[in-house]
Amino acid sequence: MTGKQLTAVSAIILSGMCVLPLGLGIYPQHVLITSLFYVMMAASWNLLAGYTGQVSFGHAAMAGIGAYTSGILAAKAGINPWVGVCLGTVLAAILGLGLGSLCLKMGGIYLSLTTLAFSQILHIVIVNEYDVTRGTMGLQVPGLMGEYSKLHYYYIMLAAATLILVILYRMIHSNLGMNFRAVQNDETAAAAVGVKVLQMRVLAFTVASAMAGFAGAIYGHYLLLITPEIPSLDLQFYVLAMTVIGGMGSFIGPVIGAFTLNILAEKIRDYGEYHVLVYGLVALVMARFAPNGLIGIWHRLRPAKPR
């Protein structure tokens, strides 16, 4: 796609997204809002796992950092939620920088385990610091605006997701993105042609964490009640599944995955506890027949034109 075509297609999709909720009831609007939250989560996790090869299990934890930072500041100190969102983003970025640096010399399963530990520690702290976080009861937080309106939240989420996607798109298509992919493909070779491997890895970690913190903070102010469900492994693996099923390492894959899986989740709610089984089956079938995700199927049906 050329630049002009891309702009046109994006504009059409975006206008479609703007009118989409107008005729819908409150419940479908809620599903769309959560889908947009997952779009931000999956797309930013993809920057880590899909573009620099760092399979972090601490991404949901970063969303939790954002949500709880902003939520606690607003609920306990009366700070404006928008300021809180910014502070939550910054704190997630700082922790991402720290966690990324800690994992610098690690690859593969070691990095995953370290980030998993981080995620669990955070979870335990939140559950147990009852006075500050209200534990599993959940912390009531103020909304982003005076009057509660699903439609307004939808547009806020849409704007936030668009912002994240634009930043990610520009990053991936710049020199940075090319360096990221080189690091993912082969760190030794990347270093040998002058790529600052360590710097790239930490940068991806910091940016992705900031984005998760941002998404989590806004999401918390939408839910009005934040619980340890946000920084949980359930949410982490949900985001992972969305990215993998959508198509890891492709720009649009996680976006498609987030919508598909989140809407599917609503459909299979009727199965109660068995919905996990349905997920497992979907993941299994995808892994076997479409290892490159939904986007991979699309590319297979429509072979790339020679450039």
Partner 1 sequence: MALVEGRNISKSFGGIQALSEVDFAVDAGSIVGLIGPNGAGKTTLFNTVAGAFKPTSGQVVFDGVDITGLPATAVCRMGMARTFQVCRPFGAMSCLENVMVAAINRRPGEPRAAIERLAREKLNFVGIPELEGVEARHLNVIQKKRLELARALATEPKLLLLDEVMGGLNTQEIQQAVAFIRSLRDELGLTVLWIEHVMGAVMQAAERIIVLDQGRVLMAGTPQEVVTDERVIQAYLGE
Which of residues 66, 216, 249, 257 is near partner 1 by CB under 8 A?
249
Which of residues 59, 123, 181, 221 is near partner 1 by CB under 8 A?
181
We find the least distance from the C-beta atom of residue 265 to partner 1, in angstroms, to be 30
- Does 186 bind partner 1 (CB under 8 A)? Our answer is yes
How many Å separate Cα 96 from the centre of its chain? 14
How many Å separate Cα 192 from the centre of its chain? 32
In this complex, which beta carbon is closest to partner 1, that of residue 121 or of residue 178?
178
Would you give the DSSP letter of residue 305? Answer: P
- Does 49 bind partner 1 (CB under 8 A)? Our answer is no
CA 28 vs CA 23, 272, 279: distances in Å: 10, 19, 21
The token duo for 9 is 């297609």
We find the least distance from the C-beta atom of residue 299 to partner 1, in angstroms, to be 12
Helix residue spans in the chain (DSSP H): 3-19, 26-46, 59-77, 81-102, 108-128, 130-133, 150-172, 175-185, 187-192, 197-223, 233-246, 253-267, 275-289, 293-301
- Does 19 bind partner 1 (CB under 8 A)? Our answer is no
The token duo for 203 is 């940068």
- Does 307 bind partner 1 (CB under 8 A)? Our answer is yes
Which of residues 195, 211, 245, 255 is near partner 1 by CB under 8 A?
195
Q: Which residue has the tokens 């500041």?
A: 73
Q: CB neighbours of 68 closer than 8 A, spacing ≥ 6? A: 88, 126, 133, 139, 220, 226, 230, 231
- Contact set for partner 1, span 106-165 (CB under 8 A): none
- Does 105 bind partner 1 (CB under 8 A)? Our answer is no
- Does 1 bind partner 1 (CB under 8 A)? Our answer is no
Under 8 Å between Cβ of 212 and 41: yes
- Does 178 bind partner 1 (CB under 8 A)? Our answer is yes
We find the least distance from the C-beta atom of residue 132 to partner 1, in angstroms, to be 42
Q: Which residue has the tokens 């006075």?
A: 131
Interaction mask 197-236, partner 1, x per CB under 8 A: x---------------------------------------
Say how many residues touch partner 1, by CB under 8 A.
Answer: 21
We find the least distance from the C-beta atom of residue 189 to partner 1, in angstroms, to be 4
The site for partner 1 (CB under 8 A) is made up of: 175, 178-179, 181-182, 184-186, 188-197, 249, 306-307
